[in-house]
Amino acid sequence: MASLWLSSSLALPPLPSEPRKLSSETSMHGSFKPIVVSGSPPTFVSAPNRRIFAVGDLHGDLAQARSALRMAGVLSSDGQDMWTGGDSVLVQVGDILDRGEDEIAILSLLRSLGIQAEGNGGAVFQVNGNHETMNVEGDFRYVDPGAFEECLDFFEYLGDCEEEWDDTFAGWISLSERRKEARRRLQNPWGPWSLVRRFHPIAERILGTSTVAYGIERMNREVSQWMNGPPQNDDNDPALPFPAIRGYDSVVWNRLYSRDVDDMEDYRNHQIRSVLEETLQALGAKGMVVGHTPQMSGINW
């Protein structure tokens, strides 16, 4: 899974990259509260005095994705897929791909909501999860057959469009379900990896002090370079960013904070809490949102 360092009140730490203002809109209450993004790719976000919602692991299930967004109060209930969050911030913490058949539709919905949110002084951010990483690697074990078919429909749709990429991509959600009902195609022999590369997921997970020491911006930069592939006229593939995507304790596979606390010894629970507290202190953060692991008895606090 993944996460993004997002502050609702704290000042941003100094960074080598120049911060940019994402939104200069006035809020629904009339107060001027710009959202500032720093890092390349975007890694640190300052969203003062905003409501911040996080949603994880949507895994190609469009109906449940809409349900979660409506529950958060950021998606209209009239079927028009309108942003209703005002100047709120929505963070999707990865794992949109695999298991379900509406992966691109969910990505399109989030892009559409992001455009609408920015016009209202809000924002939508997406981060990279382990299933996005697996698709870029060519690991399609968990791709639903319907997702292969969605790829065929989507690329046919792209061939018919002459608009700018943002408008074209955001418009897919309004057509995808109708095309899905009508399609009768053979499976495509590969998954939606090129879409992941095009969409540029924002950030990798922040899990421990070793990750902070390695450098969050450095990790995001290396993952972005790897996902996008070599520059034109360069045959050398970027190095695999091992700390980010490989190993049981890498940032997209780690389940340290997601274990069922009722099944752990007190000393082990204390160790995990200590790691979390050290990590948050190193970041200057108040909390961390992590997806990836189903928690049937409720989330850990």
Category of 70 on φ-ψ map: left (φ > 0), alpha (ψ -120 to 50) or beta? alpha
Distance CA 229, CA 237 (A): 6
Indicate the number of domains in the chain.
1
Do the Cβ atoms of 40 and 215 come closer than 8 Å? no
Average pLDDT, 10 consecutive residues per value, the chain (301 residues): 47 48 48 79 86 94 97 96 97 94 96 96 92 88 90 86 86 83 44 48 53 77 80 72 68 75 71 83 82 73 64
Give the per-residue pLDDT at 209. 64
Q: Residue 123 is part of which domain span? A: 5-207
Is 246 inside a domain boundary?
A: no
| Residue 131 is a catalytic residue | yes
Asked if the structure places residue 35 within a domain, the reply is yes
Whether 283 and 212 have beta carbons less than 8 Å apart is answered as yes
DSSP 46: E
- The whole-model pTM stands at 0.67
From 29, 131, 270, 292, active-site residue: 131
What is the C-alpha separation between 63 and 33, in angstroms, rounded? 32
In a domain, 244, yes or no: no
Whether residue 172 lies inside any domain: the answer is yes
Instruction: Note the pLDDT of residue 5.
Output: 54
Q: Which pLDDT value is given to residue 62?
A: 97
Q: Residue 287: its pLDDT value, please? A: 83
Identify the residue whose tokens are 């976000």: 45
Domain for residue 188, yes or no?
Answer: yes
- The answer as to whether 141 is a domain residue is yes
Count Cβ neighbours within 10 Å for each residue of 169-196 and write b for 16 or more, e otherwise: bbbbbeebeebbeeeeeeebeebbbebb
Q: For residues 158 and 140, give the distance between their C-alpha atoms in angstroms, rounded to a whole number.
A: 23
Query: Is 231 inside a domain boundary?
Result: no
